């Protein structure tokens, strides 16, 4: 099992590690700062620094429980020491974008009682779908104003690990369908934007809502009955 440093410290940019396995899918390390894609957040990119030179990592993902770094070339072998270094600027954009999405979902839930039906993000931009019956650009502008007001409050963002039974009993977590997480997941990782949002989540986030900066709602679209899409971009 790879020690996943991003789950507890999303600001760590590099770590010394040992290669455990190499196959055509990628490289497994004993520990890593790379985030494997999931929950709408893309996998990290970066390099594995070796005495023989840098090896590019083009994606990070999980397969059959293994955390794989997809590499391009390089003669890596089990037992080798490497330094795993993520593309920090890209990751930090993803952290800001991911935290913006949580704030957006919280605002839509609080003010319009609508749950999230799906979402996806790129560094600096994202979309999220909601169980809303109607949407308009005026609605989008209202949401943008409220969202920026909340983010500008500079709310602290916390990572907790909560025993499964406690998470299941928390009314704030029920809207995010915490009960549907596989039973072997215990404790459950929780991301809390203080006073605004709490959800079970595996992704990487910034430490405060102020670090997200301003967000623009760039588009509103209908994707069918009770399924409306909001697109956002980081504006700072
Ligand atoms: Zn999330």
Residue-wise pLDDT for 170-194, tens only, equals 888 877 777 788 888 899 999 999 9
> Residues with beta carbon < 5 A to ion ligand 1?
39, 201, 203
* Residue-level pLDDT at 74: 82
**Helix, strand, coil percent values for the chain (each to nearest 5):** 25, 40, 35
Higher pLDDT, 101 or 171: 101
Q: How far apart are CA 94 and CA 92, in angstroms?
A: 5
In whole angstroms, give the CA distance from residue 140 to residue 177: 25
Whether cis (ω within 30° of 0) applies to the bond prior to 187 is yes
* pLDDT at residue number 39: 87
- pLDDT grade for 25, boundaries at 50, 70 and 90: confident
Q: What is the mean pLDDT of the chain?
A: 95
Give me ligand 1 centre to Cα 131, in Å. Answer: 17
What local confidence, expressed as pLDDT, does residue 180 receive?
80
- Residues 170 and 148: their CA atoms lie apart, in Å, by 27
Sketch out the chain's domains with CATH numbers.
3-86 (2.40.30.130), 91-234 (3.30.980.10)
Ligand 1 centroid–CA 202 distance in Å is 7
Q: Ligand 1 mean position to 40 CA, how many Å?
A: 7
Lateral strand order in the sheet of 215-222: 116-122, 125-130, 228-234, 215-222
**Which residues have a Cβ under 8 Å from the Cβ of 201 and sit 6 or more positions away?**
39, 102, 176, 189, 190, 191
Query: What does the alpha-carbon distance between residue 169 and residue 166 come to, in Å, rounded to a whole number?
Result: 5
Q: How confident is the model at residue 81 (pLDDT cuts 50, 70, 90)?
A: very high
How far away, in angstroms, is 173 Cα from ligand 1 center? 13
Helical packing angle, 88-112 and 137-152, nearest 10° = 110
Q: How high is the pLDDT of residue 191?
A: 96
pLDDT of residue 172: 82
**Can you give the pLDDT at residue 156?**
98
Q: What is the largest CA-CA distance in the chain?
A: 58
Q: Tell me the pLDDT tens digit for each residue of 29-54.
A: 999 999 999 989 999 999 999 988 99
Beta bridge partners of 166: none
Compute, in angstroms, the gap from residue 53 CA to the centroid of ligand 1. 35
What are the tens digits of pLDDT across the range 122-157?
999 999 999 999 999 999 999 999 999 999 999 999
Q: State the pLDDT at residue 136.
A: 94
Of the candidates 1, 144, 137, 141, the one whose C-alpha atom is nearest the C-alpha of residue 64 is 1
Phi, psi of 98 (to 5 degrees): -65, -45
Identify whether the C-beta of residue 98 lies closer than 8 Å to the C-beta of residue 121. yes
């Amino acid at each position: 099992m790879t020690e996943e440093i991003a789950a507890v410290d999303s600001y760590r940019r590099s770590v010394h590690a040992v290669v455990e396995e190499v196959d055509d899918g990628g490289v497994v390390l004993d520990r890593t700062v790379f985030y494997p894609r999931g929950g709408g957040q893309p996998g990290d990119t970066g390099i594995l620094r070796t005495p023989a030179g840098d090896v590019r990592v083009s994606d990070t993902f999980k397969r059959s429980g293994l955390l794989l770094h997809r590499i391009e070339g390089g003669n890596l072998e089990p037992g080798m020491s490497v330094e795993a270094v993520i593309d920090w600027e890209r990751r930090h954009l993803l952290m800001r974008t991911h935290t913006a999405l949580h704030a957006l979902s919280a605002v839509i839930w609080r003010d319009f009682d609508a749950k999230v039906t799906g979402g996806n993000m790129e560094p600096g931009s994202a979309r999220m779908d909601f169980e809303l019956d109607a949407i308009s650009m005026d609605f989008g502008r209202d949401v943008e104003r409220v969202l920026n007001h909340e983010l500008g409050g500079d709310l602290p963002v916390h990572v907790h690990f909560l025993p499964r039974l406690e998470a299941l009993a928390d009314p704030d977590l029920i809207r995010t369908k915490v009960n549907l997480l596989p039973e072997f997941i215990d404790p459950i990782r929780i991301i809390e934007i203080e006073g605004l949002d709490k959800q079970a989540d595996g992704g990487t986030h910034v430490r405060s809502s102020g670090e997200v900066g301003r967000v623009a709602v760039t588009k509103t679209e209908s994707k069918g009955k009770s399924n409306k899409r909001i697109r956002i971009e980081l504006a700072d």
